[in-house]
Amino acid sequence: MPGPSDFASIPRSALPALLRAAPKAELHIHIEGSLEPELIFRLAQRNGLSLPYASVDALRAAYAFSDLQSFLDIYYAGASVLLQEQDFFDMAWAYLERAAADGVVHAEIFFDPQTHTARGVPMGTLIQGLRRACRRAEAELGLSAVLILCFLRHLSEDEALATLEAALPWRADFIGVGLDSSELGHPPEKFARVFARARALGLHLVAHAGEEGPPAYVWSALDVLKVQRIDHGVRSLEDAALVARLAAERMPLTVCPLSNIKLCVFKSLAEHNLPALLDAGLCALVNSDDPAYFGGYLNDNLEQCFEALPALHGGHAWQLLSNSFEASFVAPERKRRWQAALDAAFQSALSAAAS
């Protein structure tokens, strides 16, 4: 198998087209965060709801966030238009069509049932709508898509446990659990029991940590929750011992660069630590998080990173996409097939540059 050094000499001018065309996986996408303003208005009209914004442009203009909480406030307001199974299908299908156009061959999609069940939407309504879109994507787009149920960390662990139990009739329709929403003040250990329950059920485990929260939250996610992936994790570089452990264990970090800028984790993309994460030997990969709110889907994140960060080269591009397959919860033979296609795309670009 080739490595990053094999592709470091690919000209930077060739990277945008290569990044767009190459196969890739997306492992950190909140499906409610893919809800574009145009679709919000269509669903509101379909469901007879009024919105506190006069137009699509007025809603989009409100996407100026000072921190994670200011984003979450408008995020939950947008999700209020989702009521029927078809609404959840339409939202997921819109994302999956965009993902397929971006060269995504596999997506592991987060969904927040508590955002909807608190409004009286039945658990089966939302899961069945999302799952139907995933099945259609596999059949019509050749895009493998699975679901990860996330708990809202600003709510109690008892509510998370109740949510997990309520979802178990649809256990076959989701592959894992995650932890999202407001990070500060809600450390991972708050959810030790529900993650132990999910682990006993054979579910995959992931958690947001080290976005706004400190490196200590990453340690807790690893040691208390026993997660298999860290979502975000960009603050891990503040702790050398943590970096050494993450590198040794090949613990994936699902980094979301445009999200980090929009939520003021970094002042600008030029200051992002993505190159340092990769150069530290960490299994970092790029994702879009909440693309409708943060200004870009997966390819937008990749292209803007390579434009803003001159330290990134063709080897880093290959490494990021390779890491996305390594970090996915799929069978080894599928990973090998996608990896072979990725290697071939980069080898072709290298050969074209040399000719």
pLDDT category of residue 83 using cuts at 50, 70 and 90: very high
Query: If you count them, how many residues does the chain have?
Result: 355
Question: What is the rounded CA–CA span in Å between residue 112 and residue 133?
Answer: 16
- Cβ-contact 174, 167 below 8 angstroms: yes
Higher pLDDT, 331 or 54: 331
Would the pLDDT of 227 be above 90?
A: yes
Specify the pLDDT at position 52.
84
Q: Which of 78-82, 171-175, 182-186 has the highest mean pLDDT?
A: 171-175
300 annotated as a binding-site residue: no
Give the pLDDT score at 201.
98
Q: Is 28 annotated as a binding residue?
A: yes
Instruction: Give the pLDDT score at 134.
Output: 98
Query: Does position 78 have pLDDT exceeding 90, yes or no?
Result: no
For the ranges 47-56, 238-247, 306-315, the lowest mean pLDDT is seen at: 47-56
290 annotated as belonging to a binding site for a ligand = yes
Instruction: Read off the DSSP letter of residue 52.
Output: S
The answer to whether 208 is a known ligand-binding residue is yes
What backbone torsions phi and psi does residue 147 show, to the nearest 5 degrees? -115, 145
pLDDT at 251 over 90: yes
d(CA 111, CA 131): 11
Confirm whether 307 is a catalytic residue. no
pLDDT higher than threshold 90 for residue 232: yes
The pLDDT confidence band at residue 247, using thresholds 50, 70 and 90, is: very high
Report pLDDT digits (tens) over 87-102. 999 999 999 999 999 9
Split at pLDDT 50, 70, 90, the class of 144 is very high
Beta strands across the sheet bearing 204-209: 24-30, 104-111, 144-152, 176-180, 204-209, 229-232, 252-255, 283-286
Q: Is 106 annotated as a binding residue?
A: no
| Mean pLDDT for the stretch of residues 196-215 | 98
| Residue 151: pLDDT over 90 | yes
- Provide the whole-model pTM: 0.96
**3-state class (DSSP) for residue 66:** coil
Report pLDDT for 28. 98
Q: What is the pLDDT of residue 74?
A: 82
All residues at 6 or more sequence positions from 4 whose CB lies less than 8 Å from its CB, including other chains: 315, 316, 318, 319
Helix (H) or strand (E) holding 106: strand 104-111
% of the chain residues with pLDDT over 70: 100
CA dist 146 and 138 (Å) reads: 10
Helix H segments across the chain? 15-21, 37-46, 56-61, 68-79, 85-101, 113-117, 123-136, 157-167, 192-200, 215-223, 240-249, 257-262, 274-279, 291-294, 298-308, 314-326, 332-354
- For the chain, domains (ranges, CATH) are 4-354 (3.20.20.140)
Q: Which residues of 228-259 are buried (b: 16+ CB within 10 A; e: fewer)?
A: bbbbbbbbbbebeebbeebeeeebbbbbbbbb
pLDDT digits (tens, 9 = 90+) for 5-63: 999 999 999 999 999 999 999 999 999 999 999 999 999 999 999 888 889 998 888 88
Closest CA to 126 of 96, 92, 91, 88: 88
211, 249, 303, 326: the active-site residue: 211
- The residue-averaged pLDDT of 258-282 equals 97
Cβ neighbour number for residue 44 with a 10 Å cutoff? 17
- The pLDDT tens digits of the residues spanning 158-177 come to 999 999 999 999 999 999 99
Q: Which residues pair with 246 in a beta bridge?
A: none
Share of the chain above pLDDT 90, in %: 90
Q: For residue 108, which phi and psi values (nearest 5 degrees)? A: -115, 105
Confidence of residue 72 (pLDDT cuts 50, 70, 90): confident
Residue 71 token pair: 């984003």
Report how far apart the first and last C-alpha atoms of the chain are (Å, whole number).
23
pLDDT of res. 64 = 79
Residue 348 has pLDDT above 90, yes or no: yes
In one letter, which amino acid is 251? M
* pLDDT interval class at 76 (50, 70, 90): confident
From the list 224, 330, 339, 298, the residue with the least C-alpha distance to 19 is 298
